[in-house]
Chains A and B, each alone.
Chain A
Amino acid sequence: MFVAATLALLATLALTLVRALKGPTVFDRALAANTVGTVAVLLLAVMEFLTGRPDFLDLAIVYGLLNVVGTIAVLKFFRYGDLGEPGEGPEDR
Chain B
Amino acid sequence: MDNVISLELSNQGKNQRTYNFWLELLGNLRRNRSAVTGFIIIALLIMIAIFASVITTHDPLLPMFGLPGETPPLPRKAPCIHLLGCNAEEAQHLMGLDLNARDLFSRVIFGSRTSLVVGVFSVSFAITIGTLLGLIGGYAGGWIDNIIMRLMDVMLAFPSLLLAITIVTIRGPGLENALLAIAIVSIPQYARVTRSSVLKVKEEEFVTAERSLGAESWRIVFIHILPHALTPLIVQATLGIGGAVLEAAGLAFLGLGAQPPTPEWGFMLSEARAYIFTSPHLVFFPGIAITLTVLGFNLLGDGLRDALDPRLNRD
Q: Do they bind each other?
A: no
B residues apposed to A, CB below 8 Å: none
A residues apposed to B, CB below 8 Å: none
